Structure formats: C-alpha cells, structure tokens
Amino acid sequence: MSSSWCFLESNSLSKVGTMEPVAPKRILVIDDEANVRIVVQTCLEILGEWEVLLAASGQEGLLLAQTKKPDAILLDVMMPGMDGVAFVRELQANPELRAIPVVFLTAKAELTQPRQFQALGVRGAIAKPFNPLTLHDQIATSLGWDKAVVSISPLTRASN
C-alpha cells in the first residue's frame, strides 16, 4: 500500500526538514498613526504569524530595537520629530542595531526616491495605502524571508 506525503507551510512551525520549533519572526512597526499600527499589527500577527512590537515614534522605536532586538523593522518615513531617514541613520550608528533590516512604509510620492532608500541600506519600500491581505508577503519578499516547507517522510509499515 502506498504512503502519502504531507507538506506543511508555515514560517513558525518548524525548520525545513525537521520538526524542531522555530520562534516566530519579531517585527517592530514604527508609525505615528495609531490606526495604521493597529491594522499592520493585525495583518502581520494573523496572516504572517509574526510577533509584532509597536512604537509611535522614532525615539520609542530605537528604545524597543535596543531592548527587544527585532528581526526587522517596518518604518513610516514621514513622522514628527525623528523621521524615518533620521531613524535609519541612528540605527546604523549603533553597532548592536545596524544589522536589523528596515522596510519603509511610505506615501506613493516618496517611492520616487529609490536611490535614496538604497543608499540608506533600506531593504524595500511599501506604498501607503497598502493591501492588508498582502502586506506580510510584501515585507517577507523585501527581506528575503520564505515560508518554510516541511516534509514529513512517508510512514513506513514494519513487516510482520
């Protein structure tokens, strides 16, 4: 009798080829608009199965980055006080934080400056308004994160 294969797709279930648990990705969302933070948090927690940290300002975001060490940062460009560009410069000036990848969340008009974003080392830019159903995929693509595919080998029957 033939055995069947089971493929599971998840970014938090297990490492490729093992059943060893993997911690969910931790992403820090920095945006001065509370409604945007709530929508992004909901999308990333439910659809991306990621742990989401929230900050309402660049200063608050830097403190969270230092204490929580996120896997990535989704950052609004236009914020009062410390804007996204200033935040990235501060992040890169800190040896403990400079390796954290950043994706900008920005108005469409700002997307016309990709060279400036690349010069800052930003991994990508997502336009506002964004599609809540594809936001996690856009972020994952920008960061090079793939969903793990786990294959469970076929059950073998012991001969009696």
The answer, yes or no, to whether residue 29 has pLDDT greater than 80, is yes
Domain boundaries, the chain: 26-146
Confidence class for position 145, pLDDT limits 50, 70, 90: confident
pLDDT over 90 at 117, yes or no: no
Q: In 3D, which of 40, 128, 123 has the Cα closest to residue 78? A: 128
Crossing angle for the helix pair 58-68 and 84-93, to the nearest 10 degrees: 30
Give the pLDDT of residue 26: 97
The predicted structure's pLDDT at residue 108: 63
Question: 26-146 in CATH: which number?
Answer: 3.40.50.2300
55-111 residue pLDDT tens: 999 999 999 999 999 999 999 999 999 999 999 999 999 999 999 999 999 886 566
3-state secondary structure of 155: coil
Question: What's residue 106's pLDDT?
Answer: 87
Mean residue pLDDT of the chain comes to 80
Q: Give the integer Cα–Cα distance in Å for 78 and 106.
A: 7
